[in-house]
Structure 1
Amino acid sequence: MNLRTILILGALSAFGPLAIDFYLPGFPAMALAFGTDEKHIQTTLAAYFLGLSLGQLAYGPVADRFGRRIPLLVGVTLFTVASLACAFAPTLDALILARFVQALGGCAGMVLSRAIVSDKCDAVGSAKVFSQLMLVMGLAPILAPMLGGVMVNLYGWQSIFIALTLFSALCTLAVALGLPESLPANQPRPPLSGSLRQYGRLFKDRIFLGHALTGGIAIAGMFAYIAGSPFVFIKLYGVPAEHYGWLFGSNAAGFILVAQVNARLLAKRGPAFLLARAVWVYLAAGLTLLGISALHPAALWPLLIPLFICIASLGCIIPNASACAMSGQGARAGSASALLGCLQFSVAAGAAALVGVLHDGTAVPMSMVISLCGLAVVSVAMLTRRLSLSRCV
């Protein structure tokens, strides 16, 4: 796969993180503008997650029937229009609706970038490309909140959605001019009427489902960290809010580094081999984090070390689990990618909510959810490993 294609797919993969992390610094200003509180502004985030989950299921069968290029152009264009609607939303309800539509458009890039990689690469090649795409996925959480905060202070919260509009418009142009159709012309194209049967077959595919859940539960651990870290860092340990981004960014940097190391290791070992070992690192770090949290240390640094290892290990787990799930899907790669993304976000949203439910004023709830995800990841990964040696090595 050439560099131009990887860069375009990287930009498309960034839609999700950018649309989530970029506007978080604007919550106070948005609450003031709409005469409400930040709790109600958070419903715009919930609307986006709902759109991501539902939208991915729609794009899969469409992409398998009509190819990757046309649905991708439609989705990115929809994201562009919805981003502009967000910038000029007159009420909070209008903003919530625009965010939902924005997610319906944005998830096209997430679903179809995985499908395009699967069209062009085998399992090892897919894992390498997914690791490279993790560079974008990791940089977005570092840069987006910082840049978003600057833009809100200088130009107001609307400027964030104007920037997303311009970014997605450029992506639309890049897809139109530089991304050819990847679905082979001679490949069978299942009718849309069979989409439910296609998803049914995928649910019966224990290897696909196992790898999809392995990656999804690992991402759930990351969402637990995203949901719990602001309270733990800022409220519990008194880290200044302006320094939170640096701590958040250092963990994202570990994620990026391990993803790039993973891409190099794939020259010698297959994705399933690396995945089977990385999940144990994640579990060990998660249990260590829980043990330290239970001791309620007076300083933050004892928590930061196992937390860094947890997040960094995901740079190996997520791309390899995705590559193994997509391996051998062929004509149903679009549907497989859609179901993979839907499962990931559904499980991850549940983990983030669980952190809130268990909140007790300590770091234990966040650590507990992360360690539970570690136990589940190891269990599912080991069970799937026994079934998948013939398909993903």
Structure 2
Amino acid sequence: MSTPSQPPLPQGSQRIGLGFREFVITIALMTASIAVAIDSMLPALPHIASSLNVPNPNDAQLVIAVYFFGFGFAQLVFGSLADAFGRRTILLLGLAIFTVTTFAAAWTESFTALLAFRFAQGVGGAAIRITTTAITRDCFDGREMARVMSYIMIVFMLVPILAPSFGQAVLTYADWHWIFILLGVIGAILFVWASLRMRESLPVSERLPLSVAAISGGFRTVLTNRITCGYMLGLTLFTAVICTFIVTVQQIFGTVYGLGDWLPIAFAGTASGIAVANFINGYFVRRFGMRRISHACMIIFTALGLLAVGVAFFGTPSFLFTYLMLSIMLMFFAVITTNFTAICLEPMGHIAGTATAVTGFVSTTGGALLGGMIGQMFDGTVRPLFVGFALFGIFTILAVLWAERGQLFTHPGDEPEMEPGMGGH
């Protein structure tokens, strides 16, 4: 409720002083910086391993994995800070940490130091992720949030589509250190843009006190909500899907199928499919609902995973089969995670920062551990990848059945509704 000295808060994207399209593009570019810091590294991993004398080729995956760990653990801290001090301050802090540690990584000559800076870079990315998701939840809710997140993901994915090609292009003319230098420049530009264009979305009257009791109360609210917890487990398993893919894609496309310099193009194709899937989801989600769409997708994803496992155990599948299977399954991944995130946060509007922190910590850290475990099982074949995908799908179905008390495709709060206006709610 607004105080007498404060006018009522505008709704939708106007809450932070942006038009709808500018809101989508701005939030997408902020979150895309997290993905660029991952995907641009893919073609550089062999170069980093060679330059820094990494003995085990699989250890180069740690450049990706430690980023995920820093990203996961730090969300617990920044969620409560965002609820206490507002979204904008923590967003700017995260962009500053991300930028400084990225420049620091550019000048290191030690693999251990590089991993430390990558962990810290992930910490900055966590603040960006927490605040941009909380800002979106502040401005939108329910199906409208799922729709907005789908459009954000379209823009979000256009950047990672180009990220491996960006990394490959840098390596053509310079060494891998320059990838970090250019990423630092991107972080600095985003910091300036956020400081000039974005207003605060959480008024002082709605902020939570920063105390052990308030934080533990928020965590208890999140962890005792059946819907939030069940879908958080699903998000964890599908974060493991994308982590498994990212940490092994260079070896699968490069070692198993010998693509070499064609890796960025192949990766761009799978990322394009994710962007298309989010566009389709954004178009249909208000008509059919988050649960109907995501539940159908998780079942089909699991069935495809089991099919791929069967084919892989009879020998290495053709590149065309593997590539099509990965591209289609990652399209389902995109729809599932977008809708699961909206369902997760729907009951948590009053503590969006804390809820985003808890769900983000569990899903990212758990997903990184599971994905890293599957990645370390790489044996020169695609079998570990597809077995992991199938198992993640099966356990996601079980988690959702628990959350929905055995009922799929519908929910009392997810009935068809009238089409709202395009600009917000």
The verdict on a shared fold, with TM-score over 0.5 as the criterion, is: yes
Which residue of 77, 90, 93 maps to 1:71? 90
Rate the CA distance shift 1:301–1:35 in 2: closer, same or farther, 3 A: closer
Matching residue's letter, 1:230: Q
Q: Which position in structure 2 is the counterpart of 1:230?
A: 250
List runs of 5+ in structure 2 lacking aligned partners. 1-12, 14-19, 416-425
Q: Does 1:334 align with 2:356?
A: no
Q: CA shift at 1:391, angstroms?
A: 4.5
Which residue of 63, 69, 88 maps to 2:107? 88
- What is the CA–CA distance in structure 2 between the aligned matches of 1:333 and 1:219, rounded to whole Å? 20
8 Å contact from structure 1 (residues 132, 260) kept in 2: yes
- Tell me the alpha carbon deviations over residues 299-348 of structure 1, each in whole angstroms, 9 at most, x when there is no partner: 22233333322111112111100001111312210011111221221232
Rate the CA distance shift 1:229–1:100 in 2: closer, same or farther, 3 A: closer
Compute the TM-score of the two structures, normalised by the length of structure 2: 0.86
Q: Which position in structure 2 is the counterpart of 1:14?
A: 32
Q: Does 1:169 align with 2:188?
A: yes
8 Å contact from structure 1 (residues 215, 318) kept in 2: yes
- What is the CA–CA distance in structure 2 between the aligned matches of 1:257 and 1:271, rounded to whole Å? 17
Q: CA shift at 1:35, angstroms?
A: 4.2
List runs of 5+ in structure 1 lacking aligned partners. none
Aligned-partner SS, 2:243: helix
8 Å contact from structure 1 (residues 65, 192) kept in 2: no
Identity of aligned residues (%): 26
Q: Which position in structure 2 is the counterpart of 1:349?
A: 368
- What is the CA–CA distance in structure 1 between the aligned matches of 2:130 and 2:293, rounded to whole Å? 24
Q: Which position in structure 1 is the counterpart of 2:312?
A: 293
Q: CA shift at 1:81, angstroms?
A: 1.2
Q: Does 1:138 align with 2:187?
A: no
Rate the CA distance shift 1:40–1:269 in 2: closer, same or farther, 3 A: closer
Matching residue's letter, 1:192: S
8 Å contact from structure 1 (residues 207, 325) kept in 2: yes
8 Å contact from structure 1 (residues 292, 302) kept in 2: no
- What is the CA–CA distance in structure 2 between the aligned matches of 1:252 and 1:44, rounded to whole Å? 21
Which residue of 295, 318, 324 maps to 2:343? 324
Matching residue's letter, 2:42: L
Q: CA shift at 1:58, angstroms?
A: 0.6
- Tell me the alpha carbon deviations over residues 143-180 of structure 1, each in whole angstroms, 9 at most, x when there is no partner: 11111111122122221111111111111111111111
Q: CA shift at 1:269, angstroms?
A: 2.0
Aligned-partner SS, 2:404: helix
- What is the CA–CA distance in structure 2 between the aligned matches of 1:223 and 1:31, rounded to whole Å? 20
Which residue of 222, 227, 232 maps to 1:207? 227
Rate the CA distance shift 1:34–1:358 in 2: closer, same or farther, 3 A: closer
Rate the CA distance shift 1:97–1:355 in 2: closer, same or farther, 3 A: closer
Aligned-partner SS, 1:170: helix
- What is the CA–CA distance in structure 1 between the aligned matches of 2:137 and 2:289, rounded to whole Å? 16
- What is the CA–CA distance in structure 2 between the aligned matches of 1:312 and 1:42, rounded to whole Å? 24
How many residues in Structure 1 have an aligned counterpart in Structure 2? 392
- What is the CA–CA distance in structure 1 between the aligned matches of 2:48 and 2:324, rounded to whole Å? 35
- Tell me the alpha carbon deviations over residues 269-311 of structure 1, each in whole angstroms, 9 at most, x when there is no partner: 2212221221112112111111211222562223333332211
Compute the TM-score of the two structures, normalised by the length of structure 1: 0.92
Which residue of 224, 234, 238 maps to 1:218? 238
8 Å contact from structure 1 (residues 5, 178) kept in 2: no
Aligned-partner SS, 1:328: helix
CA RMSD of aligned residues (A): 2.2
Q: CA shift at 1:33, angstroms?
A: 3.9
- What is the CA–CA distance in structure 1 between the aligned matches of 2:340 and 2:293, rounded to whole Å? 10
- What is the CA–CA distance in structure 2 between the aligned matches of 1:24 and 1:233, rounded to whole Å? 11
Aligned-partner SS, 1:266: helix
